[in-house]
Amino acid sequence: MGTPSIRTNVAPLMRPTHPAATKLACVMVGLPARGKTYVARKIARYLAWLGHHSRIFNVGNYRRSAVGAVQTHDFFDPTHPENAARRKEVADRALADMLLWFDKAGDAPVTGAVMTKDSPMTPIGSRGRSDSLSLSGAGKAGPGWVAVYDATNSTADRREGIYRKCLEHGVQVMFVESVCDNNDIILANIKEVKISSPDYVGMDPEKAVEDFSRRISHYAKNYETLTPAECNDEIPFVKVINVGDQVIVNKVKGYLQSRIVYFLMNLNITPKSFFFTRHGESMFNVAGKIGGDADLSPRGQDFAKRLPDLLKDNLGEETKLTVWTSTLKRTMQTAAYLSWPQLQWKQLDELDSGVCDQLTYEEIEEKFPSDFTERDQDKFNYRYHGGESYRDLVQRLEPVIMELERHHEADHAILIVGHQAVLRAIYAYFLNYSLDELPYVKIPLHTVVKLTPKAYGCREDRFAVDVPAVDTHRCMPHPALDAKNK
């Protein structure tokens, strides 16, 4: 695809007076089948993973709740005043809920994370669907509040109304438009997203494509692309053209808006899969010690020798592979029998356990009893003396996540040979685990995980290698997640 060209008209960066109270409405714009919902979910997931409160208000879900999922293309015809009024009513209801959420922002917890039963990115088929999708990852550093208003918002008048209402509630606004004139991409989006969406459950695929294509034509009649002249020349927006071929930025200001721009410049919707596995069992795993730079155990070596055949069986004949490892011996020894190109990332090194490095948990409890208890009470934020917390680890791994999102070769997979804490953080990003859940995700030894991001979730496949290994998982003090991991 190449490096995107960038046109900018960027206002000077402004530091908010009260960063902990920053509220931002990220308003999606675009015709159907341009990837808006996918982008909306990814933005919300990314910001929540970094520790900000985020929530999606999807107007399509509000519509399905109000009038039912089965609506033919005629419902979206702008020449039908009654249907147009009903669509505006549900869009206004979603907007009102979003503003109410912002008004109640101060009621949220200061630390930890809160998630509804349905979240911006969910394993396919594993969670229900609701009108608004919420994930909050609050933190001591002062989280932002970001609502993603997911709708077509296809006219300048409609966008002006949203902009003014948000300002009345003290909410910053940023528009994100997905523009696409590549028919191959549009048709692929229709087949991939809309046939599996709630609007077309049980419908013949060919009829679904025909109906949705006609729905798009209805929206196109009155569609107006974003321009800098909107909202009295004050409109902040990002326009992503043809899935990242070009990115146009206008009057973006502040930390949160800048992070979203950075993320969108790295995001693409090319179909792809990632593999990851922990290193083979190490001598420290056998001894129950954490950290260090130990060699593989004999069973870990056995796993490393069997890994190439497992990958060949599940890659496909035409798929290339690049292997990423940390700089620690146990990951490089695990990858030693792999014939594919390899890269070492310092960012993929295991969480630094500081003064507790090379100790067993029993030794930690004996030497540092108060720290041992404190970590169990808030494992995500607890920082080892002289080491790191899981929150620190997430910040360290952001370049790795960006590289995975940037990857756009459908026939070129990536295998990460990593460590338990590192893979927990990466897995939580793609599978939408809250920050409270992240440190307790179960990533067993001698198992390869394949993740395939989709528009409405992330497909997961696991391949266990028949080589015994110790279980290094420590259960969460809360029984609910412990049961979820089993």
Q: What average pLDDT does this structure show over 421-438?
A: 95
Q: Write down the pLDDT at residue 348.
A: 98
- DSSP label at 50? T
Contact (CB, 8 A) for 314 and 322: no
What DSSP letter does each residue of 66-97 carry, written as one string? Answer: HH-S---GGGG-TT-HHHHHHHHHHHHHHHHH
Average pLDDT value over all residues in the chain: 85
Contact (CB, 8 A) for 173 and 162: yes
Q: Write down the pLDDT at residue 309.
A: 95
**Can you read off the two tokens belonging to residue 379?**
């494992």
* 23-116+143-266 matches 274-464 in fold: yes
Q: Write down the pLDDT at residue 200.
A: 83
For the structural domain made of 274-464, what CATH number should be given? 3.40.50.1240
Residue 13 has pLDDT above 70, yes or no: no
Domain locations along the chain:
23-116+143-266, 274-464
| Position 456, amino acid | Y
Residue pLDDT, tens place only, 329-373: 999 999 999 999 999 999 999 999 999 999 999 999 999 998 888
Q: Write down the pLDDT at residue 194.
A: 60
pTM: 0.85
What DSSP letter does each residue of 318-332 carry, written as one string? Answer: T-EEEEEE-SSHHHH
Residue scoring higher pLDDT (312 or 15): 312
Residue pLDDT, tens place only, 98-155: 999 998 875 544 333 333 333 333 333 333 334 445 444 443 334 789 999 999 999 9
Q: Would you name the residues annotated as active-site residues?
A: 279, 366
Residues in binding site = 278-285, 330
Q: How many residues belong to the chain?
A: 486
Rounded (5°) CA angle 199-205-211: 55
Contact (CB, 8 A) for 28 and 60: no
Residues in binding site for substrate = 278-285, 330
Q: Write down the pLDDT at residue 123.
A: 33
Q: What average pLDDT does this structure show over 170-193?
A: 86
- What is the Cα–Cα distance from 360 to 341, expressed in whole angstroms? 35
Q: Write down the pLDDT at residue 106.
A: 53
Q: Write down the pLDDT at residue 373.
A: 87
- How is domain 23-116+143-266 classified at the architecture level of CATH? 3-Layer(aba) Sandwich (3.40)
| Position 298, amino acid | P
What DSSP letter does each residue of 131-190 carry, written as one string? Answer: SEEEEEE--TT---EEEEEES---SHHHHHHHHHHHHHTT-EEEEEEEE---HHHHHHHI
Q: Which residues contact 392 (CB under 8 A, 6 or more apart)?
A: 383
Q: Write down the pLDDT at residue 17.
A: 37
- What is the Cα–Cα distance from 443 to 277, expressed in whole angstroms? 8
Q: Write down the pLDDT at residue 479.
A: 52
Residue 474 has pLDDT above 60, yes or no: yes
Q: Which residues contact 54 (CB under 8 A, 6 or more apart)?
A: 43, 44, 45, 47, 48, 120, 134, 135, 136, 137, 145, 146, 147, 148
Share of the chain above pLDDT 70, in %: 85
Q: What are the residue ranges of helices labelled H in 292-350?
A: 298-315, 329-334
| Position 126, amino acid | S
- What is the Cα–Cα distance from 35 to 123, expressed in whole angstroms? 18
Q: Write down the pLDDT at residue 426.
A: 97
With H, G, I as helix, E, B as strand and everything else as coil, classify residue 473. coil
Residue pLDDT, tens place only, 241-296: 887 788 999 999 999 999 999 999 998 777 788 999 999 999 999 999 999 999 99
Q: Write down the pLDDT at residue 279.
A: 98
With H, G, I as helix, E, B as strand and everything else as coil, classify residue 58. strand
Residue 47 has pLDDT above 90, yes or no: yes
Instruction: At 207, give phi and psi (nearest 5°).
Output: -70, -35
Q: Write down the pLDDT at residue 117.
A: 32
